[in-house]
Structure 1
Amino acid sequence: MRKIQLNIPDNVDLKDYDLSMIIASKLYEDAKLSAGQAAEIVGLSKRAFIEMLGKYGVSVFSSSVSDLHSDIANA
């Protein structure tokens, strides 16, 4: 896994966990990472990560119409 270093201004009042969760949830939302990969970044189980997504404004459910049609067909 690749590591990066970010310089965050001191006036940004967020814990490291919250920053990691914000980044991981955004990458998950943009379909750049799977839920499992995003969970690994934060150090959570996949289930715990999915349960936390709502707190960070990310839905588990896709907003793509084609994904909805695929979900309906698979149901």
Structure 2
Amino acid sequence: MTQEITITIPDESLSALEITPEKLTAEIRLIAAIKYYEMGRLSTGAAAVFAGIPKVLFLTKLGDYGVNTFKLTEAELIEDLANA
């Protein structure tokens, strides 16, 4: 099951960002997933699903945003190995 959330973005913000609404949606999902991962609220796998991208791609995006990729807890490492 999925949920849809609607947010309102001023036209000026879209213009300033020079981005389409579709690309902004994907970027917001990715940034939120990265932040939730960084805060420890989502595992890498759950954050990748949240962002709508493959886990391997999510891991590379962490580095792009300056987030430590290897901040996994022992439980997360075990989960990742089990899902590999």
Tell me whether the two structures share a fold, i.e. TM-score over 0.5.
Answer: yes
**What one-letter code is carried by the residue in structure 2 that aligns with 1:4?**
I
Instruction: Give the Cα–Cα distance (whole angstroms) in 2 for the partners of residues 56 and 45 of structure 1.
Output: 17
2:79 is matched with none
* 1:24 lines up with 2:25 in the alignment: no
* Superposition RMSD in Å: 2.0
How many aligned positions are there? 64
TM-score (norm 1): 0.67
Uncovered stretches (5+) of structure 2, i.e. residues with no partner: 75-84
Higher helix share: 2
Moved over 4 A (4+): none
From the superposition, tell whether residues 19 and 34 of structure 1 become closer, same or farther in structure 2 (CA, over 3 Å). Answer: same
In the alignment, structure 1 segments of 5+ residues that lack a partner are 71-75
Compute the displacement of 1:2 (Å): 4.6
